[in-house]
Amino acid sequence: MNSFAARLKANEEDALKELMDLIGPKVLGYCKKKTGNDEDAEELVLDIFLKLWHFRSRIDTNANLEVLLFTIARNHLLNFIRNKAIRQLALTHPEEAGHFAEDSILRRLDHQALLTQYRHVLSKLGDKQRNVFQLSREEGLSNKEIAEKLGISVRTVESHIHSSLKTLRAELKDAYPLLLLLLLP
């Protein structure tokens, strides 16, 4: 994966195409699961890879591109779902829809602050615990898939996830329920 990051930074379009072939189906499956609509999911996947290409110069060559893509996917999905709800509200209750538009900047700031807190707490976890948690919550893998991927038992995966959630709950206190909404697998 690191070679993909370096190739993207070197403006190699073929690297993006290969990455789409390699990881695109997983991202598409995730988006289909969350949107329930093939067309919306396919459009989101294109936007996600386009965003990766747009910010390729900022990619850390040591970054896990799969995790980065699923983080971008989660954020795009949240925006998609929120915008879809606002559009639906505008059709059914136009007088209420204006309030959402006015508050969008504040909501984005709150969302960014929450993600910053989340990342800070994640950085306090051990490497293996953090990896298991991210595979579960950010990439949507099942406990069995994580166990097979990392060569550990399903019980160990469950233990790491439980400990991670306990740490997040303790560290984030009032923001924990909002964080759970963001991390729904």
Domains of the chain plus CATH, in order, are 1-70 (no CATH), 93-185 (1.10.10.10)
How far apart CA 129 and CA 8 sit, in angstroms, is 29
Predicted confidence (pLDDT) at residue 92 exceeds the cutoff of 90: no
* DSSP assignment of 118-175: HHHHHHHS-HHHHHHHHHHHTS---HHHHHHHHT--HHHHHHHHHHHHHHHHHHHGGG
In this prediction, residue 159 carries a pLDDT of 94
In this prediction, residue 106 carries a pLDDT of 42
Looking at residue 36, the DSSP 8-state letter turns out to be S
**Residue for token pair 């996917």:** 73
Note the pLDDT tens digit of each residue in 103-149.
Answer: 544 454 456 677 777 888 889 999 999 999 889 887 778 899 999 99
Whether residue 33 contacts residue 77, with contact meaning beta carbons closer than 8 Å, is answered with no
In this prediction, residue 127 carries a pLDDT of 94
What is the residue-averaged pLDDT of the chain? 80
Whether residue 149 contacts residue 141, with contact meaning beta carbons closer than 8 Å, is answered with yes
How far apart CA 69 and CA 158 sit, in angstroms, is 24
In this prediction, residue 105 carries a pLDDT of 41
pLDDT confidence band for 178 (50 / 70 / 90):
low
With b for 16 or more beta-carbon neighbours within 10 A and e for fewer, the 30-41 pattern comes to bbbebbeeeebb
Q: Model pTM?
A: 0.51
Task: Write the burial class of residue 5 (CB in 10 Å: 0-12 exposed, 13-18 middle, 19+ buried).
Answer: buried
